[in-house]
Structure 1
Amino acid sequence: MVGVRSGPSVLHVDLDAFYASVEQLDKPSLAGRAVVVGGTGPRGVVATASYEARRHGVRSAMSGAEARARAPHAAFLAPRFAAYAAVSGVVMRVLRELSPLVEPLSLDEAFVDLAAGPLGDLDEDGVRAAAHAVKERVHALTGVRASVGAAGTKLLAKVASDLDKPDGLVVVPLGTEAALLAPLPVTRLWGVGPATAERLRRAGVHTVGELAQVPEAELVGLLGQAHGTALSRHARGLDERSVEPEREAKSVSAEDTFPRDLVEPALLAHELERLVVRVVDRLRRDGQTGRTVTLKVRRHDFSTLTRSVTLPGPTDDRRTVGRVARDLLAGTDVSGGVRLLGVGVSGLADWAQADLFDAAAEEPAAAGADPAPAAPVATGPERPDWSPGLDVVHDEHGRGWVWGGGLGRVTVRFEHRGTAPGPVRTLRADDPALHPLPAAEVAATAVRAPLAAAGA
């Protein structure tokens, strides 16, 4: 951890509309067009929208149905995480050349502590030059653009990176933090979601400057000890958190959105058990256990409920997690139907408490419940899921991606990064010459093409 800084040497690097940008680069016909990445089914949710789509009002976390109504001519694509992870890996390597203290928050954003690297604790001009060089190198090696915020704290760096998007660079000189924050809406602060913002609004607080004037004791009374204390400090630009290169997962979770509302208790029980198995499998694969089991339910009216129980000690036992999840579901009103169901385990540790296993071992299986969900039963010849955006290769026509499909047909545009916009062909969905491109080749291409273009 770096002590007192002489300049705004904490960077927050945020890749602009990352998933959509990669899609526009990999699919030449989509350059400059509205692109929406997310779930493509009737209950899909927007993960990222290109800036062209945002001009029509499409935003992250919006339902796919609303996004289609706002931007009916946009390209709606399923995510390709192999490509995004490969490009993200290049970006993170660029950042680690600057400093050993790089804290990734997700595939498309990270903190960097410049003062811990070879450049040292730069002054404002030096930080600006370094940040500009980072932006240019990221673009040269990947084709994507980044917005960068630089400040003396993580809080201010993250706020700054969002002030001049896309392709922005905002440096916050030391001592100006409070003035920068004051006119911003409270939602710009970490930890202020819709519920907290509504509580503050009812208290007459709309801006960060107004929040900074509220005595800490009042915020604690309104929001609780931890949340109120943290927001009081953040509103005044205070943040002691250091850039941590190893961010351990705080929770393991799984959730599914269903194509229709589930109302049948047996189906809900089956889906819940399936989620429990996915979560516990991940816990065991990572050698972790957890104390707190959380159930997430989105009901037919889009209201979302979360319920949690904290156990006496950490566990990775499926029956224990399943029992708690079932109890939580039994205590939740789902009579109108369930759109989304999720299970999570938090309070992670690398040890388990044996007596929890013993208790679970004595627990009889729930009536009508299988000990573990069976693999899906095949109802016909196994065929690829031709999701929009999927990378494919045809024995005759070469590389391309799925534009859409249905009624036994799949439409493919034959192009990829580095080619001109390609032709569109409609093929039989069971065409033996058409194959999904392996994920390893998708990842390799996502990195290889921009590196070649940059001469690296």
Structure 2
Amino acid sequence: MEKGKQRKIIHVDMDAFYASVEQLDNPELQGKALAVGGSSQRGVVAAASYEARKFGVKSAMSSVIAKRNCPHLIFVKPRFDRYKELSNRIRNIFFEFTDLVEPLSLDEAYLDVTENKKGNPSASLIAREIRQKIFEKTGLTASAGISVNKFIAKVASDYNKPNGQKTVNPEEVENFLEQLEIRKFHGVGKVTADKMYRLGIFTGKDLKEKTLDFLNEHFGKSGKYYYQVVRGVHHSEVKPSRIRKSLGAERTFEENISSEVFMHDRLQNISEEIEKRLTRSKVAGRTITLKIKYSDFTLQTRSKTLQYYISSQELILEAAKELLYQEKMKESVRLLGISLSNLNTDNEEEKEVKKEVAVQLKFDF
């Protein structure tokens, strides 16, 4: 790409992907309030149809609360093989337009179409064609955001969901970000949003008025990120082969566990699953993190960094047990998880050193 040339980035996000696949394959579920995930007392919603979302059902919600919010909610078990099959079909469509495709998950990806295989100068028309092809080849709908960088494209893709798209042209970036509600900024979760509210930050304009020193003081390392993105500065490139930062697994139990003997059994099962995933990905890690969710839903993590890389079930379990005994449990436990980070792929990632381009170039979006 020519130096100083503005990029054209598309963020494609499938609409309620898991739930939509289930409705696609089973016509009787179409138009119904549907949740993909466990229906037991300890189950968790993995995805919800738009019909269910109207009742406040959302992913990561316990099935008990979901059922309380929506008594007529239908639960179905996830079929990840089917989701992967359709995800691969969708990804092949992306490659018809560009090789610069960065998958984020099975149902979303970034595409850099600045220079594309179709020779189409309009990223908006490319996004529309991609969405149409996805529908023709899978029967599923997708939404898209189009703009000058990944951050704005991702925010924009959520604007006209489902089955819509939004383009933020270069000359519209400043106004778009200033009017954006702070909770819609990608990277601002509920806890951070509440903190910003207390500091009088409700919109992008409010955020933009804060100095870098102020943001660093209140948000630490994230301060610089917030300072830059609200000004449209986000240099992260679309990376076709994303480098994995961590790998893990977790289990929610049918009944709360208070016995450490039972916890050992669960940790052994989890560590075996992680070993399989590490082997498939051909990676190892040095930092192990134990995740504990108690019966009162409070969450605790305990971490340890080793001097060497590990990938075997035995060593993962040994480190996890050590973290388990690090301090006394305060309540019975409903969930345990283990993750491995500081992977041996980290040193392969090149550091991004980009100069900020002061003048934004206009082009056909």
The TM-score with structure 1 as length reference comes to: 0.72
CA distance in 2 between counterparts of 1:112 and 1:2 reads 18
The answer to whether the Cα contact below 8 Å between 1:287 and 1:350 also exists between their aligned partners in 2 is: no
Give per-residue Cα distances to partners, 1:366-412, cap 9 Å, x unaligned: xxxxxxxxxxxxxxxxxxxxxxxxxxxxxxxxxxxxxxxxxxxxxxx
Aligned to 1:343: 338
Partner amino acid for 1:19? Answer: Y
Give per-residue Cα distances to partners, 1:271-322, cap 9 Å, x unaligned: 1232223223322343211111111111010111122122233222444433
Residues 350 and 98 of structure 1: CA distance in aligned 2, closer, same or farther (over 3 Å): closer
CA distance in 2 between counterparts of 1:242 and 1:255 reads 31
CA distance in 2 between counterparts of 1:93 and 1:256 reads 33
Partner amino acid for 1:238? Answer: V
User: What count of residue pairs does the alignment treat as equivalent?
Assistant: 346
Shift of 1:138: 0.7
Residues 2 and 32 of structure 1: CA distance in aligned 2, closer, same or farther (over 3 Å): farther
Aligned to 1:147: 143
Shift of 1:185: 2.6
CA distance in 2 between counterparts of 1:309 and 1:90 reads 40
Shift of 1:2: 6.7
Shift of 1:75: 1.7
Residues 46 and 129 of structure 1: CA distance in aligned 2, closer, same or farther (over 3 Å): same
The answer to whether the Cα contact below 8 Å between 2:243 and 2:345 also exists between their aligned partners in 1 is: no
For residue 209 of structure 2, the aligned residue among 198, 208, 213 is: 213
Shift of 1:235: 1.9
CA distance in 2 between counterparts of 1:220 and 1:100 reads 37
Partner amino acid for 2:108? Answer: E
Shift of 1:347: 1.1
The answer to whether the Cα contact below 8 Å between 2:290 and 2:320 also exists between their aligned partners in 1 is: yes
CA distance in 1 between counterparts of 2:230 and 2:328 reads 38
Residues 66 and 196 of structure 1: CA distance in aligned 2, closer, same or farther (over 3 Å): same
Partner amino acid for 2:134? Answer: V
Partner amino acid for 1:75? Answer: I
Aligned to 2:57: 58
Aligned to 1:248: 243
Shift of 1:9: 1.9
Residue 4, structure 1, aligned to residue 15, structure 2: no
Residues 320 and 221 of structure 1: CA distance in aligned 2, closer, same or farther (over 3 Å): farther
CA radius of gyration, larger in: 1
CA distance in 2 between counterparts of 1:3 and 1:51 reads 43
The answer to whether the Cα contact below 8 Å between 1:114 and 1:120 also exists between their aligned partners in 2 is: no
Partner amino acid for 1:105? Answer: L
CA distance in 2 between counterparts of 1:111 and 1:87 reads 17
Aligned to 1:299: 294
Structure-to-structure mapping, 1:144-223, within 5 angstroms: 144-223=140-219
Structure-to-structure mapping, 1:40-439, within 5 angstroms: 40-120=39-119, 122=121, 126-225=122-221, 227-349=222-344
SS at match of 1:21: helix
Shift of 1:62: 1.4
The answer to whether the Cα contact below 8 Å between 2:10 and 2:147 also exists between their aligned partners in 1 is: yes
Q: How many percent identity over aligned positions?
A: 38
Q: Gaps spanning 5+ residues in structure 1: where?
A: 352-456
Aligned to 1:439: none
CA distance in 2 between counterparts of 1:91 and 1:2 reads 29
Shift of 1:120: 4.6
Partner amino acid for 2:240? Answer: P
Partner amino acid for 1:154? Answer: K
The TM-score with structure 2 as length reference comes to: 0.89
SS at match of 1:68: helix
